């Protein structure tokens, strides 16, 4: 059991370095469930820096649902149903790794003596590379899973991100108040 976790972490490391696709991830429903829960919790924790806990919880779940749709709907339409489990597991696990990196950076930046309006700009600027890294990871995973070129996979990955920011953010703010 422990050696399988070590192998999974090694695979996740290679995926986050953009050197492997989702086919390297074991096909396991338990692993998918754990990855999605970790992804939701990681996104919630990151969002608590800007939103209330309820809004952050909504955004975490909303992002995970969109991630599942972005990964599974195109695969189902192209009749690659056997790739859904591995692709979604890889995307959620890699997303959790990016969330951990964002949290580490946010905790480091939280001690900066900056006014509130400047602080949010500095944080946005410094976390932008992590956001781009997440987009690249999802693009490579979708490109490999869907057997597409880079640009369509990038469009799908950017579409996911835009929906989370442009639809999820306002929905969370309006639902929670």
Residue 48 is encoded by which pair of tokens?
A: 């608590």
Query: In 10 A of CB 48, how many CB atoms?
Result: 17
- Tell me the pLDDT tens digit for each residue of 10-68: 999 999 999 999 999 999 999 999 999 999 999 999 999 888 899 999 999 999 999 99
Report CA Rg, the chain: 16
136 vs 49, more confident: 136
Delimit the domains of the chain by residue range: 25-175
Residue 173 CB burial class (10 angstroms; 0-12, 13-18, ≥19): middle
- Tell me the pLDDT tens digit for each residue of 76-122: 999 999 999 999 999 999 999 999 999 999 888 888 787 777 777 88
Residue 76 is encoded by which pair of tokens?
A: 């189902």
**How high is the mean pLDDT of the chain?**
91
Half-sphere exposure of 115 (CA within 13 A, CB side): 2
């Amino acid at each position: 059991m422990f050696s399988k976790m070590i192998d999974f972490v090694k695979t996740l490391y290679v995926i986050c370095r953009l050197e492997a696709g989702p086919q390297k991830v074991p096909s396991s429903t338990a692993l998918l469930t754990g990855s999605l829960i970790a992804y939701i919790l990681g996104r919630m924790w990151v969002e608590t820096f800007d939103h209330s806990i309820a809004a952050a919880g909504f955004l975490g779940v909303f992002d995970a649902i969109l991630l599942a749709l972005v990964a599974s709907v195109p695969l189902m339409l192209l009749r690659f149903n056997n790739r859904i489990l591995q692709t979604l597991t890889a995307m959620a696990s890699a997303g959790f790794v990016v969330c951990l990196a964002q949290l580490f950076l946010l905790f480091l930046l939280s001690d900066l003596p900056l006014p509130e309006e400047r602080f949010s700009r500095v944080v946005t600027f410094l976390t932008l590379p992590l956001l781009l890294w997440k987009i690249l990871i999802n693009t490579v995973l979708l490109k490999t899973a869907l057997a597409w070129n880079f640009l369509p996979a990038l469009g799908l990955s950017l579409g996911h991100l835009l929906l989370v920011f442009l639809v999820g953010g306002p929905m969370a703010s309006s639902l929670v108040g």
